[in-house]
Structure 1
C-alpha cells in the first residue's frame, strides 16, 4: 500500500473495501459514520468531508514590508487544484461505493465529498428522532406470544442493535427487562429468578439469560 504525498494530505491508492466493511442503509448511519470517520482520519483525509481541507484558492493575500496587503494570483493554483480535485474525487467515490442503492438518490446532486457528507448528515438528523421513537416503542411493546423463544429473542436483539446504530444504545439491564416484559404469565418463575439476579455485581447480560429462558421455554413446551 503506497500513498504519494501531495501538500498536506495524500493522494490515496488503497482499496477502501479492506477497511470499511459497513454498507450504509437507512438503519445504520451512526455505525457507518463512525467507521468511515476513523478510516478517513487514519488516511489524513478527514478534512475533505469536514471542510478543514478546502478548495485551493486562485488568489493569495500578500503582506508587504510596509504592512499593507494585496491580492495576487496563486502561482501554484493549477497544480494544487488538480491534486485536491483528484483526491476529493477518490474520497467521494469511496463514500458512494459504501452506500446501499436507495441511499444514492439522496446525494445525487452533490459534486464534492463535503457536500455528500453533509447532505447525509442533514438527511439522517431529520429522520433520527422519529426512528428513535419508533424503535423505543417497539422495545417497550415487543411480546413473545406464540413464537419460539429463539425467534422472539432474535427480534429483540435486532431492535437493540438498531437503537445502537442510531446513537441510543440499550443497557444490558434494559435488554433483560424488555425480554422479560414480553413473556406471558407462565414464565413468572424464571422471570422472578432473573429479576433477582439483575442487580448483582457484575450483573448478567442478555446473553447470560438467553440459555435460561430457552431451557425454561423448552420445558414448558415438553
Structure 2
C-alpha cells in the first residue's frame, strides 16, 4: 500500500465522516456531468449518497415519550453529518457558481439546485448547446482543447436526455477542422463504419504532431536561403572586384614600370601633373621640345634622368 493511500471505515450510526473533496474538480457552468459523477461516487464510497438524493431523510427533531418531549439524538447526528457534507461540497464548487446556492441549507438542496440548473432538459438549453456545437471551430486551439469542447457538450446533451448520435458526433468534430487535417478527414470518410471517439482523438493528435514537426522544419528554410543568397552575393562581389582589378591593371602596370626603371624621384610633377619626375626635369624636356604626351599616354623622351 502506498504512503498516500487512506483506509476508509464505513460510517455507522454513531460516527461522523468528514469527506475530503480536495481531489474533486471545481464545478463550473460547463462540467456538471463529470463533477456530479465524481462527487456521487465519493459520497457513495462513504455510504453517504443518500444525503445527496434525499433518500437518507432527516429524523424527527424531537422525541415524545409519556408526554415528555426531548431532543432526538438521531436528528442531531443526521444534521451534523449533513452539514459536514455540505461544507465539503461547497469547497468543490467554483466561486462563480456558489451564488446559486445561497439559499440551500442541506446537501440535498444543493444537489437539487445544481441538477435543476445544469441538467434540466429545457428546449432552450438544448438548442443553445447544439448551436455551440455548430460554432465550435479549432482555430488556434490545440486538438486537446478542441476535442474536449465537443465531448463536454455531447455529455451535457446526454444528461439533458437529448444525446447526439455517434455518427453526428464524428461529423461535428471533423467539420470544425482546418485544411491541414484533410488527410484524416478523407481517411475517415472512406471507412465503412465511423471510428470511436478515442480512435479519432488519437489520429487527430498524431496529425497535429506531424503539422508541428513540418512547421518546425520549414522555419529553418528561410535562414538557409538567406545564407545561400549571401554567399552568392559575396561570390558575385568577389568576381566583380576581380574584374575591377583587371580593368585597373594598365594603370598599375604603368606605375610598376615607372618604379622598375629605378627613377629616384617618385613625386608628381608640378608642371604636367605626371607622377615619376620633378618639375626641373620636365622643364628641360619641354625646352628641348620633348615631354609627356597626354594623347599617347607616355613620355616622348626615352627615359628620364635619375
| TM-score (ref. length: structure 2) | 0.53
1:15 aligns with 2:5: no
Q: RMSD across aligned C-alpha pairs, in angstroms?
A: 3.9
Q: Pick closer, same or farther for the CA change 1:171–1:214 going to 2, 3 Å.
A: farther
Aligned residue-pair number: 205
Q: What are the equivalent positions in structure 2 for 1:72-83 lying under 5 Å apart?
A: 77-83=71-77
Query: Matches of 2:179 and 2:19 in 1, distance apart?
Result: 57
Alignment CA distance shift 1:159-1:134 (3 Å): farther
| In 2, Cα distance between equivalents of 1:203 and 1:109 | 40
Structure with max Cα Rg: 2
**1:50 paired residue number:** 53
Shift of 1:97: 0.9
Asked if the contact 1:135/1:163 (under 8 Å) is kept, the reply is: yes
What TM-score results when the alignment is normalised by the length of structure 1? 0.70
Instruction: Report the counterpart of residue 81 of structure 2 in structure 1.
Output: 87
Match in the other structure for 1:135: 129
Question: Offset of 1:30 from its aligned partner?
Answer: 1.3
- Uncovered stretches (5+) of structure 2, i.e. residues with no partner: 1-6, 219-306
For 2:97, the equivalent position in structure 1 comes to: 103
Distance in 2 between residues matched to 1:216 and 1:48, nearest whole Å:
51
* Aligned mates of 2:149, 2:88 — CA distance in 1: 29
Q: Note the 1:1-222 alignment, pairs <5 A.
A: 6-7=12-13, 10-18=15-23, 21-57=24-60, 58-59=62-63, 77-126=71-120, 130-143=124-137, 147=139, 151=141, 153-168=143-158, 173-183=167-177, 191-197=185-191, 199=193, 205-210=199-204, 211-212=206-207, 215=210
Q: Within 2, Cα distance between the matches of 1:195 and 1:132? A: 28
Q: Is the 8 A contact 1:143 1:182 kept in 2?
A: yes
State the match for 2:274 in structure 1: none
Change (3 A) 1:90 1:200: closer
Q: Where do 5+ consecutive residues of structure 1 fail to align?
A: 63-70
Which is worse superposed, 107-116 or 83-92?
Answer: 107-116
Q: Deviations over 1:23-70 (max 9, x none)?
A: 11111111111111111111111111222222221247x9xxxxxxxx
Q: Is the 8 A contact 2:59 2:78 kept in 1?
A: yes
Question: Which has the higher relative contact order, 1 or 2, with Cα contacts under 8 A spaced 6 or more apart?
Answer: 1
CA distance in 1, matches of 2:32, 2:196: 32
